[in-house]
A and B are shown apart, each in its own frame.
Chain A
Amino acid sequence: MPEIKVTPLGAGQDVGRSCILVSIGGKNVMLDCGMHMGFNDDRRFPDFSYITQNGRLTEFLDCVIVSHFHLDHCGALPYMSEMVGYDGPIYMTHPTKAICPILLEDFRKITVDKKGETNFFTSQMIKDCMKKVTAVNLHQTVQVDDELEIKAYYAGHVLGAAMFQIKVGAESVVYTGDYNMTPDRHLGAAWIDKCRPDIVISESTYATTIRDSKRCRERDFLKKVHETVERGGKVLIPVFALGRAQELCILLETFWERMNLKAPIYFSTGLTEKANHYYKLFITWTNQKIRKTFVQRNMFEFKHIKPFDRSYTDNPGPMVVFATPGMLHAGQSLQIFKKWAGNDKNMVILPGYCVQGTVGYKILNGQRKLEMEGRNTLEVKMQVEYMSFSAHADAKGIMQLIRMAEPRNVLLVHGEAKKMEFLKQKIEQEFSVNCYMPANGETTTITTNPNIPVDISLSLLKRESVPGALPDPKKPRIMHGTLIMKDNSLRLVSSEQALKELGLVEHHLRFTCRVHIQDPHSEQDTLNKIYSHLKTVLKDSSIQHLPDGTLMVESILIKVSTASEDPSTKILLVSWTYQDEELGSYLSTLLRKGLPSS
Chain B
Amino acid sequence: MEEEEEDRLSNDELMDDWLIESIKLYNNLHAFELQDPTKVIEWTGEKSICVAGFKSGGRSEILELTLPQKLCAKEDQGLCPERDFKMEHGGFSERPIYCLKHVQGTRLLVSSGPPDNSLQIWQIGVDDSDVIRLLNCINNEEQNNHWSKIATSAAGSPCVLHGTHVKNLQVTEIESTKNVFLPGIASVDLVSSLEFLSKDAFLLCSVRGQMWLMDMRQQKVVAAQDVCALPAEDFYWCMGVERRQPDLDAVPCRVAKLSSTGYIFVSDVRNLAKHMCQTKVSIPSPVAENKFMNVSWAPALDNNIAVSGFSGSIEIYNITSWHSTDTEACPMFVHKGHTVLEDRDKGEIPLVTAHTWHPWKPRTVLSAATDGSLQVWEWR
Contact = CB atoms under 8 A, between A and B. Distances in A.
A255 B20 contact: yes
B90 A426 contact: yes
A423 B81 contact: no
Interface in A379-434: 383-388, 394-396, 399, 418-423, 425-426
B79 interface: yes
A422 B130 contact: yes
B68 interface: yes
SS of B interface (majority): mixed
A215 B341 contact: yes
B31 A222 contact: no
B35 interface: yes
A419 B5 CA distance: 43
Contacts of A366: 76, 79
B129 A418 contact: yes
Interface in B88-118: 88-92
A209 B131 contact: no
B30 interface: yes
A210 interface: yes
Contact of A395 (B79, B87, B128): B87
A419 B87 contact: no
A384 B23 contact: no
Given A212-B30, A219-B19, A422-B131, A399 B83 contact: no
B82 interface: yes
Nearest to B35: A396
A204 B43 CA distance: 25
Among A211, A218, A396, residue most surrounded by chain B Cβ atoms (within 10 Å)? A211
Interface in A198-212: 207-212
Given A215-B31, A366-B76, A422 B81 contact: no
Contact of B90 (A209, A388, A418, A422): A422
B62 to A, nearest CB: 10
Interface in B39-92: 61, 65, 68, 76, 78-92
B341 A423 contact: no
Given A213-B341, A386-B78, A395-B35, A422 B129 contact: yes
Contacts of A395: 35, 87
Interface residues of B, number: 43
A426 B84 contact: no
A211 B373 CA distance: 12
A299 interface: no
A259 interface: yes
A394 B84 contact: yes
Interface string B179-200: 0000000000000000000000
A406 B281 CA distance: 51
Contacts of B341: 213, 215
A132 interface: no
Among A211, A219, A255, A423, residue most surrounded by chain B Cβ atoms (within 10 Å)? A219
Nearest to B59: A429
A210 B65 contact: yes
Among B17, B79, B128, B341, residue most surrounded by chain A Cβ atoms (within 10 Å)? B79
Given A215-B31, A217-B83, A426 B61 contact: yes
Contacts of A385: 78-79
Nearest to B376: A212
B287 to A, nearest CB: 28
Contacts of B20: 222, 255, 258-259
SS of A interface (majority): helix
B29 interface: yes
Contacts of A223: 23
Interface in A205-264: 207-213, 215-220, 222-223, 226, 254-255, 258-259
Contacts of A365: 79
B141 interface: no
Contact of A396 (B33, B76, B90): B33
Contact of B68 (A212, A421, A423): A212
B32 interface: yes
A210 B85 contact: yes
Contacts of A258: 16-17, 20
Contacts of B132: 422
B131 A384 contact: no
A283 interface: no
Given A366-B76, A422-B90, A212 B32 contact: yes
B304 to A, nearest CB: 23
Contacts of B22: 219
Interface in A160-208: 207-208
B141 to A, nearest CB: 33
A212 B83 contact: yes
A388 B128 contact: no
Contact of A364 (B17, B79, B86): B79
A288 interface: yes
Contacts of B92: 422, 425
A207 B87 CA distance: 8
Interface in B1-31: 5, 9, 15-17, 19-20, 22-23, 28-31
Contact of A388 (B17, B32, B82, B87): B82
A226 B22 CA distance: 12
A421 B16 CA distance: 40
Nearest to A259: B20
A366 B79 CA distance: 8
B79 A423 contact: no
A209 B84 contact: yes
Contacts of B131: 421-422
A207 B88 CA distance: 11
A210 B84 contact: yes
Contacts of B78: 383-386
Contacts of A388: 81-83
B276 interface: no
B34 interface: yes
B288 to A, nearest CB: 31
Contact of B5 (A222, A288, A426): A288
B53 to A, nearest CB: 12
Contact of A210 (B28, B81, B87, B130): B87
Contacts of A212: 30-32, 68, 83-84
Interface string A46-82: 0000000000000000000000000000000000000
B91 A422 contact: yes
9 closest Cβ contacts across the A-B interface? A422-B90, A388-B81, A212-B83, A210-B85, A213-B31, A385-B78, A386-B81, A208-B87, A223-B23
30 contacts: A209-B84, A210-B32, A210-B33, A210-B85, A210-B374, A211-B32, A212-B83, A213-B30, A213-B32, A213-B33, A216-B31, A219-B22, A219-B23, A219-B29, A220-B28, A220-B29, A255-B20, A258-B20, A289-B9, A366-B76, A386-B79, A386-B81, A388-B82, A388-B83, A396-B35, A418-B129, A421-B130, A422-B129, A422-B130, A426-B61
